[in-house]
Structures are given as C-alpha cells and as structure tokens.
Amino acid sequence: MDYLDIKVKFLKGFADRTRLEILESIQIEEKTVLQIVGEIKGNQSNVSQHLACLKGCGIVTARQEGKFVYYSLRDEQVKSLLTMFDTVLGDVVQQVAACDKNDQCLCGKSELKCLTKRKKISP
Amino acid sequence: MDYLDIKVKFLKGFADRTRLEILESIQIEEKTVLQIVGEIKGNQSNVSQHLACLKGCGIVTARQEGKFVYYSLRDEQVKSLLTMFDTVLGDVVQQVAACDKNDQCLCGKSELKCLTKRKKISP
DNA sequence: CAAACATATTAGTTTGGACTAATATTTCAA
DNA sequence: TTGAAATATTAGTCCAAACTAATATGTTTG
C-alpha cells in the first residue's frame, strides 16, 4: 500500500452519495448515529458502515459519550476541503450535468449499450 | 440528477488510482494520449476511457491538434484542489494507512471474512 | 441483574465501474 | 487515395463496494 493507494482510499471516502449526505448533516455540529440516520434516508446498519468508512479514511472522528457516539468532521482542513469541492464544482456543474444528458462519457452511468457485434475472443 | 449526484460524479473522477496517475502525469504540462500511456502502466483503450471520464467530470480538457489530442487539467482551481488533497491528507496518512493494516474498517478492502453463522432470510 | 436502547458487525446479494480485446474513426503523409 | 498512426468506442468479464437483514456488542437505567 503506497501513498497513491492511501490517497485513493481517502478520496473514495468522499465519492459516495450517502457519505456526502452524512458529511453534510454533520458539517455544522457533531451528531449521533441515530440523529444522522434520521436526517438522511437510510437504515442504521448502512449508516454505521459508512461512518466506519469515513473514520477509516480520516474524514471524520468519533467521540463516545455514554451510549451515544458523536461523529464530527475531523478538522478544519476537511471542512475547507468540503467547501472547496463546491467552489471548484461551481465552474463546471453545467458541463458535468450536460455530459450526463448527452453521451459524451459513460462514467457514472448504468445504462447498457449494445450497438454492434464483435467477434468472440478466441480461446 | 440533482446537485448532489453531480458532486458525487465529480468526486468519483478523482477516486481512482489510474486516473490519479493520469492527473499526476499532466499536472505540469499537457500531454497526448500516447504520452500518458507511456508514462503510466496501462493500455491505450483503458487510458482513453479514463480520459473521457475525467473530461466528463469536468476535471480535464482536451485540445485537438492534428491527429494528436492534448489533455490538460481544466483550470487553476482543479490544480489547487489536487494540491489541497495532499495537504489535507498529510495530517492523516498515518491513520489511514494504519486503518488498513488493522481491521478498523473494511472500506477499500477486498478480504472476505466469514466468522459466525446466521439464520437464512425467510422467503 | 435484566431490559431497553444505541451502535457495530456479520453474511449474502446486487450493482457500478475498471479492465481487456476487438474494432471503428479520424487525421496525416507518401 | 491508400496506408499508417493516434484516438475513441464497443461488448463482455470480473471485482469492489453499497446495500439489506439478521445478530452481536456495549451502555445506561429500572
């Protein structure tokens, strides 16, 4: 596991809708798991797993208080990174959205396209 | 496709080892597809697809000149975002790496763990 | 201590997306 | 204009990871 692998893991932490929703919900203040579950749609098990992921990626921290566990953004750096995402994205939202409507790229698409026929790979 | 979906797509653009390698290779100056293929291990088809993805995510731009296509980072914003990744990651590299060694989280792991037995879900 | 609540962990299923091999398209040069 | 070079696109395979259902663990309060 080299530095690049770690970087990928860190970035994958952000690259999921459910996790972004979680991060949004704790952006202002720390929340318990149940509070987060209540704010975003999703069940407790799923949220718990995503929180473990975010923690493992160094994005959030957990603080236990009695039977509650409070999750919050790791530090100010992470907070400003989240802000920067929106800033940078601001310039390209239109384009990314447009790319999705047209067929300029397939990333992030689940459509299947089967247009032509090709020879089978010989064994 | 709402704003959050677009944001996820944008961030997924960064969250892949091959794409990070591509971004690294064009961080200083624009490169052709073949140049990129030469710098990172990987075949032409694969790199081409990743470049299409990066373009669709608004991370890189393409400029055609004759039979060559030069790819470069979209703008200074993207460039500084890449820099910021390293900055923020700097604080947590150790932790993320450690998480991978221990079993604190499963995200980014491909190991299978089967420890206990559970009842089958009733139909 | 037992019951209730909060959270975590597991196995299994399913889906998205990274990859390869083959082929198509585009552009230049002889 | 034909062939070669550069790039893009396709279909198919495979694996990582997101999800669900069930259960385990941990903590407080009666």
Contacts of B9 (CB under 8 A, 6+ apart): A96, A100, A107, A108, B56, B57
| A43 CB-to-strand D distance under 7 Å | yes
Among B1, B74, B97, whose Cβ lies nearest the Cβ of A97?
B1
ipTM: 0.90
Check residues B90 and B109 and name the one with the higher pLDDT: B90
How long is the CA B68 to C1' C14 vector, in angstroms? 41
Q: Which residues of B touch A74 (CB under 8 A)?
A: 92
**Closest nt to A55 (CA→C1')?**
C8
Q: Chain B residue with minimal CA distance to A103?
A: B56
Residue B31 three-state SS: strand
In angstroms, the CA A37 to CA B77 distance is: 34
Q: DSSP label at A50?
A: H
What tokens were used for B55? 């373009």
Nearest to B10 by CA among B51, B57, B53, B42: B57
> By percentage, how much of chain A surpasses pLDDT 90?
71
Q: What pLDDT does residue A96 have? A: 86
**What mean pLDDT comes out for the span A75-91?**
95
| A68 CB-to-strand C distance under 7 Å | yes
Which tens digit of pLDDT belongs to each residue from A39-57? 998 899 999 999 999 999 9
- The answer to whether the CB atoms of A106 and B20 lie below 8 A apart is no
Which tens digit of pLDDT belongs to each residue from A4-27? 999 999 999 999 999 999 999 999
Which tens digit of pLDDT belongs to each residue from B7-52? 999 999 999 999 999 999 999 999 999 999 999 989 999 999 999 9
In angstroms, the CA B6 to CA A93 distance is: 7
In order of their start, the domains of chain B are: 3-74 (1.10.10.10)
pLDDT category at A119 given cuts 50, 70, 90 is very low
**What mean pLDDT comes out for the span B75-101?**
89
Residue A73 near residue A60, CB atoms below 8 Å:
yes
Q: What pLDDT does residue A109 have? A: 60
- The answer to whether the CB atoms of B58 and A92 lie below 8 A apart is yes
CA distance B115 to chain A (A): 18
Element (H, E) at B21: helix B17-25
Exposure letters A30-68 (e unless 16+ CB within 10 A, then b): bbebeebbeebeeeeeebeebbbbbbbbbbbbeeeeeee
Residue B63 near residue B72, CB atoms below 8 Å:
yes
Contacts of A45 (CB under 8 A, 6+ apart): none
**What mean pLDDT comes out for the span B83-105?**
80
Q: What pLDDT does residue A120 have? A: 42
pLDDT category at B121 given cuts 50, 70, 90 is very low
Interface of B with A in 103-122 (CB under 8 A): 104-108
B94 and chain A in contact, CB less than 8 A: no
Check residues B45 and B116 and name the one with the higher pLDDT: B45
Q: Which nucleotides of C are covered by protein (CB under 7 A)?
A: 5-12, 15-24, 26-28
Q: What pLDDT does residue B112 have? A: 44
